[in-house]
Amino acid sequence: MRNNRKDAVKVGIAEMGFVRAPSCIYTVGLGSCVGVVIYDQKEKMAAMAHVMLPYAEKSGDRKFNRAKYADTAVYALCETLLQNGGKLENFRAKIAGGAQMFQHYSTEHDMRIGPRNIEALKRFLHEVNVPLLSKDVGGRRGRTIKFDPVSEVLFIRSINTNVREI
């Protein structure tokens, strides 16, 4: 899962990016954060966000960053694809991440960031009518992901595991 292609686009924490085939898009360091990819199957393009938190409305964030929150990232990704010639009926999604990295916080609702991010992404993908085709979420391990809009494969790497494809 090397990102040795010069045309691969890296998405940082609380950022989003866009690619057209043959370029790939990737993000690293997904712990409780979730990587969400929305892509257009026919146009072979994709948008990815590295989501940190479930809801913007509860953040009180003065310098608003749409990629940081699940509820606003889904809409921003769809808008990006639409602005680049995509059609909503061709959009599909895949997600990975949302680990519960700290076991001793697992019973406190507000500290269950990973599971709350996953729930929020599922909710908002459903709300915009974008099918979630596959996911690799939860657990206690971090992830690095790369999406190829040509093959429509999301590659997932974790420490001490083989690369998974969904």
Q: Which residues form the domain of 32?
A: 9-165
Q: Choosing from 33, 74, 145, 154, which is the catalytic residue?
A: 33
d(CA 164, CA 64): 34
Task: Specify which residues 10 forms β-bridges with.
Answer: 26
Do 144 and 82 touch, CB atoms closer than 8 A?
Answer: no
For the residues 124-138, what does the mean pLDDT come to?
Answer: 97
Look at 4 and 128; give whichever has higher pLDDT. Answer: 128
Residue 107 is predicted with a pLDDT of 54
Q: CA distances (Å), 18 to each of 48, 62, 93, 101, 148, in order?
A: 7, 25, 14, 28, 12
- How many domains is the chain built from? 1
pLDDT at 161 over 90: no
Q: Residue 25 domain-assigned?
A: yes
Give percent of the chain with pLDDT exceeding 70: 87
Look at 68 and 1; give whichever has higher pLDDT. Answer: 68
Q: What is the pTM of this model?
A: 0.90
Q: Residue 54 domain-assigned?
A: yes
Q: Residue 145 domain-assigned?
A: yes
Q: Residue 23 domain-assigned?
A: yes
Q: Residue 4 domain-assigned?
A: no
For the residues 104-123, what does the mean pLDDT come to?
Answer: 78
33 is catalytic: yes
For the residues 78-102, what does the mean pLDDT come to?
Answer: 95
CATH number at residue 70: 3.30.1330.200
